[in-house]
Amino acid sequence: MEFALDRWITKHNAWIDVFGPNYMRWIFRDVKMTILFLGQFLFGKVLQVFKAGVLLGAVSCILFVPGLKAENSRPFVIPALQEWKGGDGYWRSSCRLVLDPRYAAELNPVANTFAEDLAVMFGRKYKVAEGVSACSGDIFLTLAGKETEENREKYYLDVSDRMVLTGATTQAVFWGTRTILQMMEQYDGAVPQGVAVDWPNYPKRGFMLDVGRKFVPIGFLRDYVKIMSYYKMNCFQIHLNDNGFKKFYGNDWSQTPAAFRLESTVFPGLATEGAHYSKKEFVELQMLAEQYGVTVLPEIDVPAHSLAFTRYKPEIASKEYGEDHLDLFNPETYLFLDSLFAEYLGGENPVFRGKEVHIGTDEYDNSDPNVVEKFRFFTDYYIKYVEGFGKKAVAWGALTHARGDLPVKSDEVLLDIWYNGYADPFEMAELGFGLVNVACSQLYIIPLTALYYHDYLNIEWIFNNWEPYMFDDRIFSRNDRRVKGGMFAVWNDYIGNGITFKDIHHRAYPAMQTLSLKMWTGAVDDLSFARFDSCRRALSEAPEVNIGAKVKTMDGKVLQVSKLKRNQKLLIEEVGYDYEVAFDFTAKSADKGSVLFKSSNAILYQSSPKSGKLAFWSDGYLNEFDYMFPIGQRVQIVIKGDHTSTSLYIDGKLHQTLDKKILYKIGEEVVYYQSTLVFPLAFTGNFSGQLLNLKVLQK
């Protein structure tokens, strides 16, 4: 039966091509699968009739004809496919991407990125071809249909002996390539045959990272663009300025850390020295994001959280509400901010390349009604100022907290709704704002928090209970178009607490995977959290990205080297949590700063630059063990590391665990410090002594 249907479809290919080859093949494949399913159903009824009779054996043989094979179940990908109709068998690659010649110019960038990712993940070079017919094993990319708001990200994937990937836009086709990569990763390069239709429930699927309080390297941001893309998250909000809380610094603004992280040539010295992004780096980050279907949303947070600006220009600080508040009544405030925004928004090639810019407007004091009206003026002013450069404005929801008379422009403006007391989502929707759900009670990460929000998001609760239309106790209908999507956030409230960018990733990555599913697909009837959690761990972070330094092995044995030389290159860069690194070391007298192992991200010191003790450095933090190597005595060292601590064993006995400790305490609020290390293994260092029997394990 299946063979006869295939022959009929092949015979009518010319007719199919007249009406649009991919959509029509989609329709005919649906017809084919429907007929097959009906056939299986009817044979099943026949089987029930004959089960008691002598013809059971004959009927059983009939049931095993080709075309009556069980359909492939829906492949696991993140986010889950919206629709899947399984075929039988598997597609296997010919290492060729074929472009529809009518759309080759538009599809070439997608195909080239796809080919690069395939080569990285599977070690095989893929040829991008056009003007040829797609054959068995090929992946055919094409465009079909007119772009609308509903189908902008919707794609169709038909997998038989070849793949046909179709969308109305290049963005839709690109998302389909992410699905194919995830399928191939899990099926060892093969893909189960079947037909998928996939689209997002919400257009805005985001992640916000506070780099104002915790600087992270540009390489981390670039890697996160690729991670977000791999999981179809499309908005990367970068919170560029902020400051600490003065209560942790003796209530002294002059001692409170503050930073702005983007180079300014209009205001030289405004960006934090040695810990900011150049304009060139930031532009290149946005260009990479565009290549991968992600929008970088830059945020300059004013008029609160603005200590970095008032420290640069003290006369614009509020006298009443603190130096982290701008003076809304001072004309100099507006002149300064006008120039700052214009620096990044003006010119033929602006530094802020995307369609949207975030203007902050979070947590300004509302005790004086006159100040509230001025805050509303300020908000409206900068919404329109940004729009004057052809951009759309995004702001933190604050207009319930700052309820007043002066109107604030709402049309084509997005609000990040983080707390209903600051901006009631029902009220904001009625005013005409688009809403992005960033509910702090569910979606805020504060690394090492002890009092409020989350150290790690409760991804099981989110998986089972949350979707973007749920703003705590304010629940919209599932399809309310005023709800544009959702976003989770990492706020680095506690400055100097030992948290590295590796630790940020350890918190953000599982949240990213979970919220990707909930923002794109929503609830999935046949997917339990237990299965999701198990399967998500098997996926890569993204092509050529491994921030967590997971090493795939069959038995957990990562590396073993019997004798090591100084400055020797090893086989891997680093090993992440949870690991065990063992080696024998006989020390000679060493200068402070002598290195045992190093990578681009961390150092294990034989002799700390500070004290001469065994120590490690990671992301600006130096952590020392209370141990110095005895000269001329061979010792076995074992270092075990997880996401909360690093432990040292000497000759089989636990010597010390560098665990979470109290940094300071203000009232009920406790600020912790932790000592964690993703172990460096790219090179040995300039150690003094003999280094033997390196063994590395990872759970």
The helix or strand, by DSSP H or E, that contains position 27, with its residue range, turns out to be helix 21-50
Show the tokens assigned to 525: 């009837």
pLDDT at 195 over 70: yes
| Averaged pLDDT for residues 464-476 | 98
According to DSSP, residue 330 is labeled: -
pLDDT digits (tens, 9 = 90+) for 92-102: 999 999 999 99
CB 499 within 8 A of CB 447: yes
DSSP-based three-state secondary structure for 249: helix
Residues β-bridged to residue 679: 575
Nearest Cα to Cα of residue 488 among 427, 425, 429, 416: 416
pLDDT at 68 over 50: no
Cα 379 to Cα 364: distance, rounded to the nearest angstrom: 11
3-state secondary structure 620-667: CEEEECCCCCCECCEEEEEEEECCCCEEEEECCEEEEEECCEEEEEEC
Most confident of 37-41, 60-64, 528-532: 528-532
pLDDT category of residue 352 using cuts at 50, 70 and 90 = very high
One-letter identity of residue 406: L
Cα 450 to Cα 107: distance, rounded to the nearest angstrom: 49
Percent helix / strand / coil, the chain, rounded to 5: 30, 25, 40
pLDDT digits (tens, 9 = 90+) for 33-50: 444 334 433 333 333 332
Mean pLDDT in the chain? 91
Cα 140 to Cα 142: distance, rounded to the nearest angstrom: 7
Greater confidence (131 vs 227) lies with: 227
Nearest Cα to Cα of residue 681 among 650, 641, 626, 649: 641
Nearest Cα to Cα of residue 300 among 364, 361, 367: 361
Cα 272 to Cα 281: distance, rounded to the nearest angstrom: 15
Give the model's pLDDT for residue 69: 55
Greater confidence (48 vs 192) lies with: 192
Give the model's pLDDT for residue 67: 39
Q: Considering the entire predicted model, what is its pTM?
A: 0.90
Give the model's pLDDT for residue 55: 26
- Helices (H) and strands (E) counted in the chain, each on its own, are 16, 37
| Averaged pLDDT for residues 381-388 | 98
pLDDT category of residue 632 using cuts at 50, 70 and 90 = very high
Show the tokens assigned to 169: 């836009």
Nearest Cα to Cα of residue 608 among 685, 533, 660: 685
Show the tokens assigned to 60: 């059983």
- CA-to-CA separations, 393 to 333, 357, 518, 562, in angstroms, rounded: 19, 5, 25, 59
Residues β-bridged to residue 143: 167
Cα 585 to Cα 691: distance, rounded to the nearest angstrom: 5
pLDDT at 167 over 50: yes
39-43, 132-136, 153-157, 172-176: segment of lowest average pLDDT? 39-43
Q: Distance of alpha carbon 100 from its chain centroid, rounded?
A: 31
